[in-house]
Structure 1
C-alpha cells in the first residue's frame, strides 16, 4: 500500500466507480431562412441495476406496463447480474417521468435526447434520419454526420462491493455537447409547393412516383427536392420495404431522359457548328438509319421545318440528323466534356452514375437514339446539372444543399463551397439555347408550361422504360426562369402514369406551370429571381 499506493488507489476507484454514457446532442438542420427542419426532444434511457433492486416484481410490472415490453423480456434483463442492464433508449419524457414517479430502487432513468423532425414528411428523402444510436442513417443526416454529431457525456456514481450505490455520494456528470448546426439552401415554402404539386400529380395520374427538383442553375443551390411518396421522418420504420421507401430517386435512380435531352444534343450541334437556326429539315414521320426505321412521335410527320421549328416540334428526325452530322467521336467527346459521364458530386449519399455505351460500341443506330434521349440512362440531378451549364453561360455547377456551418452560439464557423468548372460551352451557344427553349414554351410542345407574365424556357419529354413492350412511360418537363438570366430551374418527372395520358407536354408541363406560378413571386420577393 505504501510502495504502490497510487496504483491500488486508482484500481479501487475503477472498481467502485460506475459510469453511464449520455449520447451527444445532434446539431439542428435548418433551411436557408434558418427555420428548423431537424432538431431534438428530451428523452430518457431506461436501465436497471441488479444489485440495487429491492422489489423485483414491482420493477418488472412497472417497466413492462409503461414501456409496452412483455414481462418475460423484462424479467430476463432484471435477473442478469451485471453492473447495469439497458432496457430501452429514447423513451419519451412523459413516460420517463411516470417511471420515476414510482420511486423504485434499481431503475435508472437518464436524461437524453431523441431526433425530432417537426415537418414530418417534408424533405424526408433529402434530410434522412438519425437512428436510435444518434448516428445518421440516410440523407443529409449521413453526409454531414460528423458535423451534426455531438460529444457524448458521462454519469459517474460510486458503488460498494455489492454494486449498490453508496448513499450520500452525489453523481458526477459530464454534460453532453451539442453538434454544430447545418444551414441548408433548402426553402420550406418552395418545398411545400413542390410536394403539394407532386402529391396531386401522383394521385391524378395514378403514377408510381413523382420527382420534382427546384434549383438555381447559376450556383447549384437546391431549393426543393421531392420524390413522392415521401415517408414520416419521426416514424421511418413504419413504411413497408424500408430501403425502397427511403430511396431518393432524384439522385439514386437512372432513366432514359427522352426529348429533354434534345437540349444537350442542340448544345453540342451549336458548339460543333454543324447547324444554323435557318437550316431546313424534312420529317415524313420517320428516318431510316442503316437498316432501322426510327419513328417521330408524330407518325404523319412534320414535313418541311427549320431547326427552330424542329426543336419546338420536338422532332426526332431533326435531332437524329444532328447526331449523325456531329458523328459518334465528337458526340462522345462533348458528352464527356459536358460532364455527363461524371457524377455531379451532390452532397447526398447514393448518387448513381450515368449508364452509357462504350465509345467503340456507338454505331450509327446508337448515335441516332442517343441524340433524342434513348438507349442510355442518367439521373434527374445529372440532367439538371448539365442543362444548367448550357443555359448559364457555360459553367458546370455542383448541385448542393449544404450552405453554412454554425456553432452552438450561432456564429458562422464555415461557409461551404462547391466546385464550378467554366468553359463548358460558349456564351453564344448559351444565349441561342435559351431563346430556342423560350420558343418551345411560347409556341411549341411545351406551351402547357406557359405562365402569363413570365418568360419561361423549357423542354418536354416522353420516354419509355425497358422492355418497350411493357408500355411503361415517363412524362417529364424541364423549365427555367427568367429566360435572359435563369435563376430558377424546375424538373417535373412523372413515373409510369396510368391515368390515360402519358405525354410530358400533356401532364408534366402543367405541373411545372403551376409550380412556377406559385413560387416565382416568392422567389422575386426573397431576391432569388429578378
Structure 2
C-alpha cells in the first residue's frame, strides 16, 4: 500500500507541474499574441514611422565655388567636378561576385572577361583597382578595416566615377561629389590670386578677399537608405538644390599682365636685379589692368597662401618720384610757381645737415620745373624753406601716402609716414625729395594718377563692377597745378629720350632712386623706380616700374633701369588699345633762366 501510494503521489505532483508549465506557456503565448495584435491594430503606424525614420538620412549636396575671371572673361581660377570614392568595409566583407554567363547578361562581375577569382574585400579590390589606378593589395587592405566608411580615393574625375558605376558594386562603393580648385595660369598671378584651404575657404589673395562672394550654399536631399547604404527608390522626402558661388570678374587683363610680367623678368635679368614689380592703372576708370612681379609663386600653392603680392606688400622710399608731390603742394599753397628761379649748387648745409645731389655740378640756374627735370635734392630743400612741415605732411597724406588703398588686397602695407611732430632736422627736409617715408607701388601709382586726373584722387579698384567709376573722389590740387607739374614731368621724360621712348607718344614721368635697408638694417640696398603717364597730352595709363638692386653699364638710376621697362610696357599698351598718337608739345615751361 505504501509503495502504491508513493507512486500515485509522484504522478499527481508531476501532472500539477506539467499543468503549471503549460499554463505559463499559454499565458506567454497569449501575451505575445496580444502584443502583436496591439501593434497591428493600434501601434503599427508609429512603429513603421520609427523604422522609416531610422532608415531616413540627410545627404549634403556640395555647392561649387565661383570662378575668378579676368576683365575679358577668361578663367583665372575655377572649381572642377570631382568625386571622393567611399568604400563600405562591412558590405565588402560579404561580397560574392556573380560570374558572367549567358543567363546573367550584364548583371555580373568580371575583369577583362575573366572571373574575379576572390570573394569579400579582395574581390572588390580586384574589380575596383584598375579604375582607380591603384594596387589591388593596397586597396584590399583599406577595405578590410572595421566600420562602414573609408575614403579610398579623393577628387577623381567624372570619367573615373562613371567607370566605377559600371562595376556592379552599388551599396559597397559610392561616390561623394567634391571639387578641385584649378588655376589655368598658376604662375601668372601667384600670390595675387592666393589659394584655398582643405575646406574650400579662401585663405590668401583674391580667393580670401572675395571668399564670401565665391562661396556657395550647400544643398541637401533626405531619403531612406537600404542595408547597403543605397537609396530606396521613391523615398526622397525633402530636397534643396545647392546654390553655387558667384563669379568674380577682375579688372586685370590677362594679356597685359602676361606681357608686363615678361618685361619685368627680362629687365630683371638684364639689370641683374633682385626682383622687379609693376602696376598698370587706367586713368579713366582707376582700374588696375596689371599688378605683376617676378616672384614665381604658383596660385593655390603653399607659397601663394603665405605670401602677398609684392606690389601691395613691398614698401620702399620712392626717392625722387616724391618730388612731384612736394612740388604740387608748393604750387597749391602758392609758395612757388613753376617758373620761380633758383641758383642751385650740388650741395647745401642747413641746420647742420648736409644735402647733396646725385651728381656733381656747379651753380645751376634752374626754375622749379628745372629742379624737377634734373631731380635736384638741393633744389627741393631750397624751394621748401617757405613750405611748412605740416603742409609737407598734409599733401603726402592727400596724395594717399601712408594709407591703405581701396583695393582691399590681403597683406597690403600702408607704408610708413610719421607725423611732422616726430620729424628731426633731417627728416623734415628729406621728405621733400621722397625719403624719410615709405610707400608701396599701388599707392605711388595712384598718387601720380591724381596728377593725370587733373588733381583729383579716386579709389583704385581691381574688381570689375564694384562701386562707381572713380568713386570717392577727392580734389587734392587744382587742375592748373596738376597740369603744371605734369608739364615739368614731361621735361623729365625728354631728358631720358634716348633710353625711354615710346615712338609717337609724349610721356610725363619721374624717376626715383633710394637707399633701402638690408636684412642687417644697413642702408646697402637700392630701389630704382619710374612712374610715368602715357600719353602725356591725353592721359590713358599710369605705369609704375620698381627694381631692387639693379645694375647696368649706364648706372643704377631709375631712368636707365626701370625707365626702359616702362617704355617696353607702354609701347605694348599703345598698340593693344590703339591709342591715338600725341600732338606736338608747344607749351613747355622753361627749365633754366
Does residue 1:426 correspond to 2:475, yes or no? no
In structure 2, what is the equivalent of residue 188 of structure 1? 254
Q: Distance in 2 between matches of 1:7 and 1:369?
A: 86
In structure 2, what is the equivalent of residue 475 of structure 1? 528
TM-score, normalised to structure 1, is 0.85
Does residue 1:30 correspond to 2:62, yes or no? no
Shift of 1:355: 0.9
Output one character per residue of 1:396-415: Cα deviation in whole Å (capped at 9) or x when no partner. 211111113xxxxxxxxx76
Q: Secondary structure at the match of 1:110?
A: strand
Does residue 1:455 correspond to 2:506, yes or no? yes
In structure 2, what is the equivalent of residue 334 of structure 1? 395
Match of 1:465 among 500, 516, 519: 516
Output one character per residue of 1:110-144: Cα deviation in whole Å (capped at 9) or x when no partner. 34332222233223333333344332222222222
Does residue 1:49 correspond to 2:88, yes or no? yes
Output one character per residue of 1:13-43: Cα deviation in whole Å (capped at 9) or x when no partner. 4532344433311222222222332233222
Instruction: Tell me if structure 2 keeps the 8 A contact 1:286–1:301.
Output: no
Change (3 A) 1:255 1:393: same
Instruction: Tell me if structure 2 keeps the 8 A contact 1:391–1:430.
Output: yes
Match of 1:123 among 165, 181, 189: 189
Q: Secondary structure at the match of 1:364?
A: coil
Q: Distance in 1 between matches of 2:432 and 2:140?
A: 65
Shift of 1:49: 2.8
Does residue 1:510 correspond to 2:564, yes or no? yes
Equivalenced residue count is: 511
Q: Distance in 1 between matches of 2:140 and 2:363?
A: 75
Q: Secondary structure at the match of 1:342?
A: coil
Output one character per residue of 1:155-174: Cα deviation in whole Å (capped at 9) or x when no partner. 555335xx522575379675
Match of 2:244 among 175, 178, 184: 178
Shift of 1:223: 0.8
Change (3 A) 1:498 1:505: closer
Instruction: Tell me if structure 1 keeps the 8 A contact 2:331–2:338.
Output: no
Shift of 1:89: 3.7
Q: Distance in 2 between matches of 1:120 and 1:144?
A: 18
Instruction: Tell me if structure 2 keeps the 8 A contact 1:52–1:164.
Output: yes
Q: Which moved more, 1:60-69 or 1:34-43?
A: 60-69
Q: Which moved more, 1:105-114 or 1:366-375?
A: 105-114
Q: Distance in 1 between matches of 2:532 and 2:136?
A: 56
Instruction: Tell me if structure 2 keeps the 8 A contact 1:314–1:445.
Output: no
Q: Distance in 1 between matches of 2:402 and 2:527?
A: 22
In structure 1, what is the equivalent of residue 117 of structure 2? none
Q: Distance in 2 between matches of 1:133 and 1:263?
A: 48
Change (3 A) 1:132 1:454: same
Does residue 1:15 correspond to 2:67, yes or no? no
Shift of 1:460: 0.9
Instruction: Tell me if structure 2 keeps the 8 A contact 1:157–1:171.
Output: yes
Output one character per residue of 1:246-304: Cα deviation in whole Å (capped at 9) or x when no partner. 42011122111111111111111111112222222333322213222122111345633
Shift of 1:225: 1.0
In structure 1, what is the equivalent of residue 328 of structure 2? 267
In structure 2, what is the equivalent of residue 523 of structure 1? 577
Instruction: Tell me if structure 2 keeps the 8 A contact 1:267–1:433.
Output: yes
Change (3 A) 1:386 1:74: farther
In structure 2, what is the equivalent of residue 408 of structure 1? none
> Residues 56-71 of structure 1: matches in 2 within 5 Å?
56-57=121-122, 66=132
Q: Secondary structure at the match of 1:281?
A: strand
Match of 2:156 among 91, 99, 112: 91
Q: Distance in 2 between matches of 1:528 and 1:47?
A: 64
In structure 2, what is the equivalent of residue 310 of structure 1? 371
In structure 1, what is the equivalent of residue 108 of structure 2? none
Shift of 1:70: 12
Instruction: Tell me if structure 1 keeps the 8 A contact 2:191–2:305.
Output: no
Q: Which moved more, 1:137-146 or 1:33-42?
A: 33-42
Q: Distance in 2 between matches of 1:80 and 1:282?
A: 90
Q: Distance in 2 between matches of 1:183 and 1:18?
A: 38
Q: Distance in 1 between matches of 2:573 and 2:75?
A: 21
Q: Which moved more, 1:273-282 or 1:298-307?
A: 298-307
Change (3 A) 1:486 1:88: farther
Change (3 A) 1:79 1:256: same
> Residues 351-430 of structure 1: matches in 2 within 5 Å?
351-404=412-465, 419-430=471-482
TM-score, normalised to structure 2, is 0.77
Does residue 1:164 correspond to 2:223, yes or no? no
The structure having more radius of gyration, on CA atoms, is: 2
Q: Which moved more, 1:311-320 or 1:492-501?
A: 492-501
Instruction: Tell me if structure 2 keeps the 8 A contact 1:41–1:116.
Output: yes
Q: Secondary structure at the match of 2:528?
A: strand
Instruction: Tell me if structure 2 keeps the 8 A contact 1:125–1:227.
Output: no
CA RMSD of aligned residues (A): 3.4
Output one character per residue of 1:414-457: Cα deviation in whole Å (capped at 9) or x when no partner. 76666322321101111111111111111x25763221200111
Q: Secondary structure at the match of 1:45?
A: strand
Q: Secondary structure at the match of 1:118?
A: coil
Unmatched 5+ stretches in structure 1: 405-413
> Residues 289-308 of structure 1: matches in 2 within 5 Å?
289-300=350-361, 303-308=364-369
Instruction: Tell me if structure 2 keeps the 8 A contact 1:52–1:165.
Output: no
